[in-house]
Structure 1
Amino acid sequence: MFDPNYSIFSSKLPLFNITTKGLTNTGNICYMNSILQILLYCEPFNRLLKLIEDKSIGNLSKVSPTPLLDATIKFFNEFVDNPINSRTISPETFYMNLINHKKFSHLKWGQQEDAEEFMGYYLDGLNEEFVEAIRKLNTPNDDDADDEDYTRFNDDNDGWNEVGSNNKSISINKAVEVEPTPINFIFGGQFKSVLTIPKSATSNQFKKSITFDPFQNLQLDISEADSIEDAFNNLNNIEKISFKSKHNKELQIKKQTFIDKLPQVLIIHLKRFSFLKEKEVGIEKLRKRVDYSHDLKIPKGVLSNNIKLGGDEELIYRLTGVVYHHGSSAEGGHYTSDVLKKSCNEWVRIDDTLIKSVSEDEVLGGPEENIKNAYILMYERK
């Protein structure tokens, strides 16, 4: 993980030479097909799997300690250009390997699932296998590893701050520990949440609680946004939360969220589904158009002080994959994907077994109100 000669972000390492192929869908598994297609063309993830296949030692035991990783590498190999292989692949063998994994015991053949939820389970499952494999290594940890490879938990504004007229402060951090793994290196980011809490209803003293939370995909509220940039800017709007103190006095907490660490591959989940306000049960789909571009510039206002940019420097990401949800509600529907073949700078639209080339403009969306809506966006840092 820490050897620069084996950096999965370097174009010097080999890739699985992926050939565009469709995936059959005989059991409402479009949610899985769409996610697997965008991951096939995610180059850091592709390089990681190829590196493991080329460099790792085979397992002699009958039960593999990394069944999900093994199934994924085998699946990727089915897309390697080979005259024996057909242009259409059945993912049923991969699916059967999934449901034997405890993380996917809830999956039922023919049952509709959410693509974003599946992706979360899938990346978490791979990450857990990496964590266990790393723990079993006999080699010592590299104490000289680059600190940038680890999730950062400290900040110049250290956690708890009690500030009054004397301007003195006490600081404590709150953080969720994240072990360094290849999955976290690729997809792992971190939020910094700042809670400002008044000491009493009348006091001018307050506490600041700073919490760091990891993420593998960044969820954006689009209810009040017309573009991805709007949604990012709304991410750190100050939220006011009222609560009763132990003396039954009403106090108001202010919460503000910043991005403290950005990943190499940024997965954005557009929150299109929410519980119906006028009913006790049911989920509604937000079908509005949300503009996004091929180059995403992360607004500086949402970044914490940990992400330092000089002068006119900007954080820019390039769009490499889109997953769409087709349908008017969350109870059903269909998933498709667009993927960027970086080797020839060509966009391809994949609807299970149907494949066609599309223009860059077609990838950026359709009418304002439509049953086909962008649901997951995958960006790679430029």
Structure 2
Amino acid sequence: MVMGTTGSKLEKALGDKFPEGERFFGLENFGNTCYCNSVLQALYFCIPFREQLLEYYAENKNVGEADENVLTCLADLFNQINSSKKKTGIIAPKRFVQRVKKQNELFRSYMHQDAHEFLNFLLNELVDILEKEANETKGSPGSSSQSEKVANGPVNLQANGAQKEPVITWVHKCFQGILTNETRCLRCETVTARDETFFDLSVDIEQNSSITSCLKNFSSTETLNAEDKFFCDKCCSLQEAQKRMKIKKPPNVLIIHLKRFKYIEQLGRYKKLSYRVVFPLELKLGNMVENAEAEYSLFAVVVHVGSGPNHGHYISLVKSHDLWFLIDDENVDTVDESSLQTFFGSAQEYSSNTDHGYILFYENLGGRS
């Protein structure tokens, strides 16, 4: 359902700079659904994801209501925006929101929800649907095999227990990277490596830091000793060891989640950390990557507005054709690139500015694999 002409102001503001063929639509809020709207805008302006979803829509647009699911509703929503005769306006994502609530009771209430939890649910749900469809298409005896959630790496088992090639969906191709957890025994020097897949990296934050330093801490070497000793298979005993995390395969789209909500035992509740964390427009992963350096460009930010985790608001900043836009539910406005700095956080503990970057979306400049 397309509504209103509130976006004509945006068309006038951009004039001949309006990106050719692009659409900018605000999304109606159905009572605290800003967590959903902000994530949907970031995903819509993730071009590889949008292209694949529109392709999926073209191939599955005649699906009946009985077969409707989160994926078909999302594809329909993206197609409504993309195929609109208007360049701007407001769309009500009612069918999609209703389907999400039907699918997951967590999102059924009108309480403030977490945008990161919603993003995780959505990507895993899309993967589950695509994997199921791929297995049904194969129609093989092993098609109903068990499949782990992608966050832990998809593994398909055949009846005899042997591993079968996992289904690699276009969602995997967009967002999935591989981490290697390396543990080195300090007695025999043997290195044990364990791979795990990820859709996003959740990183701890510190006051007056940057994404680069957060990622360095994420992959820094940790010594396992005392009660945390490592059982070395070669030594057949508990030994002191060093472990570190490296990125074995960087994803095409890197999603970084800043852990802004921390449980404070003395308070008995979660507190929002308004720390100033600088996120650059261009990001190099450097030593974090095992084989080669990966370079990324920022194209979307989901921002949490408010002083605490249980209330507040979400907005998004998206980049399209070298222009930045601030999208707050129904409202879409252009912003200067320099204004992104206002969303880094606060250098003081108490500040009137509560608009802080929460989820960052970076596209790999090395091209899409």
TM-score, normalised to structure 1, is: 0.74
Q: 1:190 aligns with which of 178, 186, 201?
A: 178
> Are 1:213 and 2:192 matched, yes or no?
no
- In 2: Cα distance, 1:99 partner to 1:18 partner: 30
Identity %: 27
For residues 228 and 47 of structure 2, the distance between their equivalents in structure 1, rounded to whole angstroms, comes to 50
Deviation at 1:82, TM superposition (A): 3.0
User: Following the alignment from structure 1 to structure 2, what is the Cα–Cα distance between the partners of residues 332 and 240?
Assistant: 38
Q: Retained in 1: the 8 A contact 2:263–2:269?
A: yes
Aligned residues: 312
Structure 1: which 5+ runs fail to align? 1-15, 141-150, 154-174, 199-203
Q: CA 1:261–1:224 in 2, change beyond 3 Å: closer, same or farther?
A: farther
Q: How does 1:44-193 map to 2 (within 5 A)?
A: 44-56=48-60, 58-59=62-63, 63-64=66-67, 67-80=69-82, 82-83=84-85, 87-101=89-103, 104-138=104-138, 179-193=167-181
Normalized per residue, the structure richer in helix is: 2
Kept after mapping to 2: 8 A contact 1:40/1:76: yes
Q: Which residue of structure 2 aligns with residue 298 of structure 1?
A: 285
CA contact (8 A) 1:18 1:40 kept: no
1:205, distance to aligned residue in structure 2 (A): 3.0
Deviates more, 1:222-231 or 1:32-41: 222-231
Contact 2:176 2:199 in 1 (8 A): yes
For 1:303, give the aligned amino acid. V
| Secondary structure of the structure 1 residue equivalent to 2:283 | strand
CA positional deviation for 1:277: 3.9
CA deviation profile, 1:127-173 (whole Å, cap 9, x unmatched): 11111111122489xxxxxxxxxx9x9xxxxxxxxxxxxxxxxxxxx
Q: How does 1:364-379 map to 2 (within 5 A)?
A: 364-366=341-343, 367-369=346-348, 370-379=353-362
**Following the alignment from structure 1 to structure 2, what is the Cα–Cα distance between the partners of residues 297 and 17?**
31
Following superposition, the deviation at residue 293 of structure 1 comes to 1.5
Query: For structure 1, which segment, 252-261 or 362-371, has the greater mean C-alpha deviation from structure 2 after superposition?
Result: 362-371
CA distance in 1, matches of 2:167, 2:83: 36
SS at match of 1:378: strand
Query: How far 1:17 sits from its partner (Å)?
Result: 5.2
Matched position secondary structure for 1:51: helix
Change in Cα spacing, 1:278 to 1:71, as seen in structure 2 (3 Å) is same
1:365–1:374 Cα contact (<8 Å) kept: no
Contact kept in structure 2, 1:69 and 1:126, CA below 8 Å = yes
The residue number in structure 2 matching 1:11 is: none
1:351 match: 328
| Structure 2 residues without counterparts, runs of 5 or longer | 1-19, 141-150, 154-162, 232-236
User: Superposed, which structure 2 residues align to 1:197-276 within 5 Å?
Assistant: 197=185, 204-205=187-188, 207-223=190-206, 226-241=209-224, 242-243=226-227, 252-276=240-264
RMSD, matched Cα: 2.9
Does residue 333 in structure 1 map to residue 312 in structure 2? yes
When structure 1 is superposed on structure 2, of 368-377 and 180-189 the one drifting more is 368-377
CA deviation profile, 1:182-217 (whole Å, cap 9, x unmatched): 11110001111112346xxxxx33553311111001
CA distance in 1, matches of 2:196, 2:304: 28
CA deviations 1:220-239 (Å, max 9, x no partner) are 22126611111121122122
